[in-house]
Amino acid sequence: MPIDLSLYPKNWNQIANSIKNSANWTCEWCNKPCRPPGVSQKDTEQWLKDNHPEWLPHLYKIVEDYEQGIIKIAKPQRFTLTTAHLDHNPANCEADNLRALCSVCHLKLDRDDWNRTQKVRRMKLWEKHGQLTLDFGSIGGT
């Protein structure tokens, strides 16, 4: 999903950082500890081993390689903390609309919204062609 930076307030980075600091760099949905910017992959691994070993398996994707057999591919981006707008409106930066979410949870939020938007769009199209009466009570998340 492309990001239109013109929709964000000028001090967005400052707002986003304060939300992340308030959440103690932890995802507010899944409680995953996330890494502040500038922390290398190697340091992230060591930091998880020392402080949050239960999250270490999430750092890797296990795949089978034809030559090397089972290998672990590090996925440090899963430990990136983002600031999400619950209503998907980048201009609404009220504290109750913002959540510190890891990249995985943020994608889930956006995906659920995209699915809902697509359902409404499809249903409006069907209604336009006389195939359906809109029932918004049936439109929910996935």
The residue ranges that bind Zn ion (CB under 5 A) are 27, 29-30, 32, 102, 105
CB of 105 to Zn ion, least distance (A): 3
Nearer to Zn ion, 33 or 123 (CB): 33
Locus of tokens 């890494």 = 35
Q: Which CB sits closer to Zn ion, 30 or 71?
A: 30
State in Å, rounded, how far the first CA of the chain is from the last one: 19
CA-to-CA distance for 12 and 18, rounded, in angstroms?
10
Q: Which residue has the tokens 């929709």?
A: 7
Least Å distance, CB 108 to Zn ion, is 8
Residue 100 in tokens: 């510190």
Cβ closer to Zn ion: 81 or 123?
A: 81
CB of 123 to Zn ion, least distance (A): 30
DSSP state at residue 35 = B
